[in-house]
Structure 1
Amino acid sequence: MLNTEDDSSDKRSAVNRARRLRKIGSKLPPPYPNGWFAIATSKEIMRGKAKNIECLGEHFVVFRASNSNEVFVLDAYCPHMGANLGVGGIVKNNCVECPFHQWRFNGDNGELVNIPYSENLSEVEKFAKIRKWISTEVNGIIFVWYHAENEQPWILPTVDEVNDGSWVYHGANEFTINCHIQDIPENGADRAHLTTVHGTNIAAGMDVCKSRESIFSFGTHIWDAKWAVNDDLKHQSIIKLTHVFNVLSFKLLKIDSDIRQIGPAFVILTIKTIFGNAVIFQTLTPLEPLVQKLSHYFYAPWYLAWFVKFLIWGETVNVGRDVMIWNSKEFIKNPLLPKEEKQIKLFRNWFSQFYSENSKSFQDAHQSLDW
């Protein structure tokens, strides 16, 4: 769930302080690109319950019908007197009822369907409609479609083993990061950083400086990655990643990964090892223009629980090292790239498709916040 609990406020305060202390870069791309964005996990939105979720510069009420499993996403504020439908709102069938005056809105289209104390519904119903957002629920995650030009969405792929229950959920991690959203997926095209940031022993932890201490040199990680555009689906890119963990001079473990980046903010990472296969879903959601929520959800057969716990630990350490960099870097619009880093330029050209003419600028998004 995004931005609904006190700990989210604490995290945001810490990130905002860090943001004020460093250079953010000039000519930033729009902070909210076009695409699907995760706003909650399926387990967080229970049947007959409504939640308030803030992200992408918007306020959503997300609720699951009381008479089915369908999930609806509407603008959060009641047009009558401004109450937040996600804070105390009552779900009745496929409608959400305002906690202030019991005005009831249909989740299918956002239309006003009842004012309990008025016989003149027709006089106000055409003015009281709430925006209905396109949403979908796949892979145990609820996504909302955000597009500045109101174009129709592409279909999000599913993983059969997750949706049919043959693979089970083993855990997740979550990071709140102070950077532009583009910085995070760009790592997938940045081969050189793999050796610098992720080549040293994960036993050294998340501190990039500490990881280079000689005491941890007994274990090294060798990476090879190739980034490319999916020729069949322009909104997808593909990474072929090989990871070998060496202890002294012995190859202890090899992991082959097929990584699909779907739009700006969703990744399906399929892992193949001698022990078996697993999948990681990565979601990325802008809480504010320069505050991102990055989450990973791990699924595998039940008998790989021991191995997946190791994966979660290792992946958390490695992402933590990236977070250390992301939290303090500035976004450089035209970086100095040698020919060996041409994949980064190719990535930026590909990612630019998710910005459009009416995408909200960083300045506009920044000024719209209540400080």
Structure 2
Amino acid sequence: MRTGVPLRQESLVTPLRLPSLIGCALSLALAAGAAFAQTGTPALPPADEREPIRLLVGLPPGSGVDRISRVFAEALSQRLFRPVNVENRTGARGNVAGEELARSTPDGNTLGVVTATTMILNRHLSRQMGYDPQADLTPISRFASLPLLVLGGPGQGVRTIGELIEVLKARPSTCGTPGAGTAQHLALELLIRSVGARCDFVHFRGIAGALPELLDGGVQVYVEAAVIGLPLVREGRVRLLAVTSRVRSALLPETPTVAETVAGYEAETWLALMGPRGLADSVLVKLEAAAIAVARDAAVVRRLRALSAEPIGGTRTELAATIRAQDSIWGPVARAAGVTAD
């Protein structure tokens, strides 16, 4: 029997050569680039970078800081392609949220909105903090400032900040604030000390308690955040004398600053995005860029100004410099005021 030589069976699949693989990869890359050019939508980050971010806020739901933080969180979520969920951790003038942030894992999944009070004032007013905000937190971006208003009663005859200063210097006066050791209190302390006046401070539980005293002249001046004071100004119930920021506010361009009368004066509170100590540079750079873009977005600017906040969009380097500079100012003022938060 003849044994036939078996025929070699050819593969039905032709192996891809290296040049072919490279060509396929280039084609896919070009196609992806074309899709991005047409849609303007970047590729989504990996799944582990789309986990929700916890954004700790130290004031209660519905407060001015909370509402501003939620506007920021919504826009930040859109920039990062990740949910950003606000979690209110109230208590101890923001220290409860600050301490939880300081103790969180530095992976970028837990961040916080920190105020100037938490970042600077509390260090000088409280001896029982469980962390050091300037050592244990990482600056990312200062995204909004909250102008403070110098207010007087409409029936007191004082129409300008200069006239108010003359009254304060002429005789001991009564000055009102929404609480001892607040940014409003220390802003007024700084003004009094800057002009060499004297003032008996009365600390009310909000402007509602101070309003009758302002109206009948029992209190000559009251300092309050714009988000609270502006509605009363617009209703004509109090008189706006000045803003405490270094330059005029875009919210109130016709209102002079205190600094136009008292050279070098500046007092404001602000909100900043912070992380725990030890954030990786790659995470930090991404968060900083997103936060700056959010604060400079036209729609966000409109929404923040509707809440009486001024968008900033500062870098982490600028935020760190602001913290150092303001700490050197407010530390001595807080100590001289003799108040504690304990």
* TM above 0.5: no
Q: Which TM-score band applies after superposition, normalised by the shorter structure? A: under 0.3
More strand by share: 1
Of structures 1 and 2, the one scoring higher in RCO (CA 8 A, sep 6+) is 2
Q: Which protein is bigger by CA-based radius of gyration?
A: 2
TM-score (norm 2): 0.27
More helix by share: 2
TM-score (norm 1): 0.25
